[in-house]
Amino acid sequence: MKIKKSFPDKSGHFGSFGGCYAPETLMGLLIDLDKEFQKIKKDRTFKKEFEFYLKEYAGRPTNLYLARRLSSHLKTLKVYLKREDLLHTGAHKINNTLGQILIARRLGKTRIIAETGAGQHGVATATVAALFGLPCVIYMGSEDIRRQSLNVFRMKLMGAQVIPVQSGSKTLKDAMNEAVRDWVTNVRDTFYIIGSVAGFHPYPVMVRTFQSVIGQEARRQFLAKEGRLPDYLVACVGGGSNAMGLFHPFYHERQVKMIGVEAAGHGLSSGEHSAAIAKGKVGVLHGSKSLLLQNKDGQVQIAHSVAAGLDYPGVGPEHAYYHLIGRAQYVSVDDQQAMGGLKLLARTEGIIPALETAHAIAYLEKLARLVGANRRFARTPKTVIVCLSGRGDKDMNQISQLI
């Protein structure tokens, strides 16, 4: 494994992944955004402002909780949960939308747009738009609007306008196209809040920076509790923002193993899954080059997962890079196993995770077996930090139907 100092480079590349494949009209804005982002990284006032909202509004720091009963069930693992599920709006997404709306304000933008699939990023965006009194337009596939009516209701309650997208498969990727179209037209006053470590440079690195608060806190908390670094980090991967937020602050610590869990949906060989790293090919989506589910003509393939938030055909370019250099390992968990993970955490700890997060929990059983099978390691449990990216409340209807 070759660990280089700092990524991305100036043009937003993580090795050969990333970059900025944008229409001409957006280039000026993306360059300004990158400049502003470079500035705020060193700006004490921005840092203070961001920290203020994370603490007072979102509820940070989140706990790093030792899951004793889960650990004794797993036997070979000592599991700590990074409780992003306790944040306002119930998941890690608020870290990023708060950071981006603060940048939008600095750039003097007066209108917010976003796209959403399951509606979670739409809700997190509508939340911060209401918080700062900015008008907000959310693009959402009409099929997703039907499936996620509760989130649509939430967004509208907070004053956002939800625009149904009728084109293509009427899901996330079509909503993305529509949001970009809006942005191109209204680039002067509009800021586009992207929901994961994907998209045109500088979004992947910007979202990583805002979400890195997860890993920075977890690292500090773990050191205080255990006096050393963890053996494993485990997180689910849709676009990859909660995983990268946890992983990145440990990038240089070679002894810390990172495991990203993709959604295998109905199974990796079924063609109905969201495992862009396991099964994707190199392609360009949403402005950057990464691994991407596509058919043999290079058309974007529709992703499937029981967890709407993992239902994304691509993955952030930095994960594609970590995969390439072997810095992180990527595995997958199918719909049924994820349901098992959800029940396991509910029964051992009294915590119902989001269906997305349940993928990370489910993988722990496999990891526990692998660790146990290795005789050298069997005696003292290995330590793990799992990113508990969100709570299950949003999924209760769906889960009650599945059970």
Ligand X SMILES: *Cc1c(COP(=O)(O)O)cnc(C)c1O
Q: Which span sits near ligand X by CB under 6 A: 52-60, 127-135, 291-299, 349-357? A: 349-357
* Residue 171 or 389 with smaller CB distance to ligand X: 389
Q: Which of residues 222-281 bind ligand X (CB under 6 A)?
A: 236-243
**Structure tokens given for 385:** 């930090």
What is the smallest separation between the CB atom of 43 and ligand X, expressed in angstroms? 25
Measured from the CB atom, is 221 or 274 closer to ligand X? 274
List Cβ<8 Å contacts ≥24 apart for 221-226. Answer: 221/61, 221/63, 221/64, 222/64, 222/80, 222/383, 222/385, 225/64, 225/66, 225/80, 226/383
Binding residue (CB under 6 A) for ligand X from 116, 288, 357, 383: 357
Choose, by CB under 6 A, the member of 37, 389, 395, 399 that binds ligand X.
389
What value does the CA radius of gyration of the chain take, rounded to a whole number of Å? Answer: 20
Residue 193 in contact with ligand X, rule: CB under 6 A:
no
What does residue 107 show for φ and ψ, rounded to 5 degrees?
A: -80, 0
Q: Cβ 396 to ligand X, closest distance in Å?
A: 14
**Residue 62 makes contact with ligand X by CB under 6 A:** no
Q: How far is the CB of 172 from ligand X (least distance, A)?
A: 11
Residue 376 burial (CB count, 10 A): 5
Among 294, 356, 361, 363, binds ligand X (CB under 6 A): 356
> Whose structure tokens read 């009294």?
350
Residues tagged active-site = 93, 115, 389
The three-state secondary structure class of 158 is coil
The CB-of-242 to ligand X minimum distance in angstroms stands at 3
Residue 92 main-chain phi, psi, to 5 deg: -70, -15
Q: Dihedral, CA atoms, 62, 322, 306, 297, nearest 10 degrees?
A: 150
Is the Cβ of residue 311 or residue 371 nearer to ligand X in the bound state?
311
Q: Count of residues binding ligand X (CB under 6 A)? A: 19
Q: Evaluate whether 90 touches 393 at the Cβ level (below 8 Å).
A: yes
**Footprint on this chain of ligand X (rule: CB under 6 A):** 91, 93, 120, 196, 236-243, 309-310, 354, 356-357, 389-390
